[in-house]
Structure 1
Amino acid sequence: MNKIYLLIFVLLTVLACNSQTNKEENAKQTDNSSVEVKWTDCQNCGMPTNDFPNWQVMVKAEGKNVAFCSPRCMLIHLADSSNNIAKAIEKLEVTDYYTTQKIDGQTAFYVTGSDKTSAMGKDFIPFSTKEDAQNFMQEHNGKKIYSFREINKETVVSELK
C-alpha cells in the first residue's frame, strides 16, 4: 500500500514540475505586438515595484523588461557604465506624476529639487508635458526641468546628493 502512495506522490510531483516548466516556457514566448509587463523587484535597489505603482519605471532593453521602483533608481542604473542597458533601450515607460499613467520616458520632462520625494528620496519627477512640469516646479519649489536626453551621470550625481 505504501508503494502505491509513493508512486502517486512521484507522479504528482512530476506533473507539477512539468506544469511549471510549461508555464515558464509560455511566459518566455512573447508576441512583438503585445509585451506582457511583469513588475518585479527593482533592478537597482531590490524594493518591490508593486509597492510603488505611482513611481514605477519599466525599461525594455535587449528584448528584456527591467523594472525599477522609481525614476531615481532607473537613472542611477542607466548611469552605471558597467551594464549595456542605456545603449540598448527599446522602450522606456515612466509614471506621470499628475495622471499616474505610464508615459514614454524618453520624451518625458523631469523636475528635480522639489519638495516631493519618491520612495527612494530625492527624485527626477516625470511629466508628459513641459507645461505640467513647469506648473509642478512652481507649485513644489522645483529646481530644474530636464529632458531625458539631458540627463547623464553627472546630472544624476549632482541632483541626487
Structure 2
Amino acid sequence: MNRIKLNWLLAALAVFTLAACSGSEEQTTAKPAPVQFESGDECHVCGMIIEGFPGPKGQAITEKDQHVRKFCSTRDMFAWMLQPENINRDHTLYVHDMAQTGWQSPDDTALIDARAAFYVAGSDRTGAMGPTLASFATESSAHEFMREYGGQVLKYSEITLDHLIDGASTGKMSDMKDM
C-alpha cells in the first residue's frame, strides 16, 4: 500500500513539474538599460561622430545579443528601424526626452523608451542631419514644443518613411507638399 501511495505521489510530482516547465506562461526578460553616448561614438546609419551635434539622439539594442546601435538623430534611428529587414525585429529603442534636456547637448539621463514617446515631425528645430523628430515622454510636452516650433505631433506607430523624407531640405513639411 505504501508503494501505491509513493507511485501516486511521484506521478503527481511529475505532472506538477511538467506543468511548471511547459512554457505556457510568458517568460519575461529584463529590458536592457540605455547606454551612454561616448566621445567618438559613430552613427550606425551615416557614420558621423555623434558627439557635439544638437537634437535628440537614438539607440537600438537587440534583444538577443544586446548589440547597441547608436544614431546621431532620431531621424536616422527611424530611417534604420523602418527598413523592411528591421521593422519586425525585437529591439529596445531609446530616445532623448527633449522636455528634460537641452537641445544643443542632450543629457543621457533623459533617455526614454522610444516606442512610448511622442514625436514632433516637421518643426523648425534641426538635429545632426538637419530635420529631425523631436522626442518627448508626454504628449503635452510634444504639443508645447509644436506650438513654439511648428510641426505635427505623432506617436511612434504613426511615423513612416514619408515623415523622414518630407521637409528634408528645409525642415518644414509644409514646404514640400506643393512639389
CA contact 2:58–2:72 (8 Å) conserved in 1: yes
CA contact 1:57–1:71 (8 Å) conserved in 2: yes
Larger Rg: 2
Equivalent in the alignment of 1:72: 75
What's the offset of the Cα at 1:88?
A: 1.5
What's the offset of the Cα at 1:47?
A: 1.1
* Root-mean-square deviation (Å): 2.4
For 1:69, the aligned partner's letter is C
Residue pairs, 1:68-147, within 5 angstroms: 68-81=71-84, 84-100=85-101, 101-140=110-149, 142-147=150-155
Quick one: structure 1 residues 54 and 154, their matched pair in 2 at CA, closer, same or farther if it must change by over 3 Å?
A: closer
Equivalent in the alignment of 1:16: none
For 2:135, the aligned partner's letter is P
Q: How many Å separate the matches in 2 of 1:91 and 1:136?
A: 25
Equivalent residues, number: 128
Equivalent in the alignment of 1:37: 35
Equivalent in the alignment of 1:13: none
For 1:126, the aligned partner's letter is S
Equivalent in the alignment of 2:57: 56
Query: Cα deviation per residue 1:97-139 (whole Å; 9 max; x = unaligned)?
Result: 1213101100111102222111211111000000000011001
Q: How many Å separate the matches in 2 of 1:53 and 1:116?
A: 9
What's the offset of the Cα at 1:159?
A: 4.8
Equivalent in the alignment of 1:156: 164
What's the offset of the Cα at 1:54?
A: 5.2
Query: Cα deviation per residue 1:15-74 (whole Å; 9 max; x = unaligned)?
Result: xxxxxxxxxxxxxxxxx6765836431011111123348522111124311100110111
For 1:37, the aligned partner's letter is V
Q: How many Å separate the matches in 2 of 1:97 and 1:80?
A: 25
TM-score normalised to structure 2 length: 0.62
Quick one: structure 1 residues 129 and 59, their matched pair in 2 at CA, closer, same or farther if it must change by over 3 Å?
A: same
CA contact 2:55–2:132 (8 Å) conserved in 1: no
User: Percent of counterpart pairs with the same letter?
Assistant: 30
For 1:131, the aligned partner's letter is S
Q: How many Å separate the matches in 2 of 1:79 and 1:35?
A: 22
TM-score normalised to structure 1 length: 0.69
SS in structure 2 of the partner of residue 133 of structure 1? helix
Gaps of 5+ in 2: 1-29, 102-109, 170-179
